[in-house]
Structure 1
Amino acid sequence: MKKIGIALCAVCLVTSFISTAAESNKVTIAKCEGVDAETIANSIKNDYQQKRIVRWPGHREKLGQADPIIWINSKEITGNNDRWKVPMTVRGKNTDIQYNVVVDCKAGTADYQS
């Protein structure tokens, strides 16, 4: 009986860890059809600096500051004028957060996946 209880606790712990390990935050952005990778990079960087870091206190706490450094290499962006995948690094005093931002220009959404 104890072994079953321990096994169930282990499964719950692993499930909890997996669900919190990858975080997704889908947000509304301006529609961006017909733009290039450089424009998408600037748009996502500005969106994060001006809106997301302000509204996501958990991210500020994790980073250790409210004005982190943001890197997006437009050469690493994949996709086309309707749907883009934008790798982004946000560096704070405490740690870095890696994001893959999936941008849907037709829908006007960005999904920040960390």
Structure 2
Amino acid sequence: MNKIGVALCMACFFTSFTVSAAESHKVKFPHCQNLDADAVGDSVKNDYQQNRIVSWPKDREKLGQADPVIWVNSKEIAGKNGQWKVPLTVRGMNTDIHYTVVVDCTAGTADYQS
């Protein structure tokens, strides 16, 4: 009985750690219905560079700088009908941060998922 209790506690601990490690930031994003994949990727890169790095202190702290190198691999952008998934990489002095940015052009939102 004690072994089962310990196993359940361990499972709960690791599950809560995994859930807290993944973050999501839903933000307003310019409407982009008429843009192609490359243009949406450029918009995501510019949005992060001009708006997110400035307002997300945890990213600056994690990266170790306020002016990281940011890129999007346009070959990995997927989507249609105004719904896009854009892989975004942000490289700082300390580490890299990888986001999958889910853009909804109709709603004017972007969800940065790490």
TM-score (norm: length of structure 1): 0.90
Question: What code does the residue aligned with 1:29 have?
Answer: F
Runs (5+) with no aligned partner, structure 2: none
Q: What is the deviation of 1:6? A: 3.2
Aligned to 1:69: 69
> Which stretches of structure 1, 4 residues or more, deviate above 3 A after TM superposition?
1-9
Q: Distance in 2 between matches of 1:15 and 1:39?
A: 38
Contact 1:101–1:112 at 8 Å: present in 2 too? yes
TM-score (norm: length of structure 2): 0.90
Q: Distance in 2 between matches of 1:85 and 1:77?
A: 6
Q: Distance in 2 between matches of 1:31 and 1:82?
A: 9
Q: Distance in 1 between matches of 2:40 and 2:83?
A: 10
Q: How many residues align?
A: 114
SS in structure 1 at match of 2:98: strand
Aligned identity (percent) is 67
Q: What is the deviation of 1:23? A: 1.1
Aligned to 2:82: 82
Aligned to 2:49: 49
Q: Distance in 1 between matches of 2:65 and 2:6?
A: 39
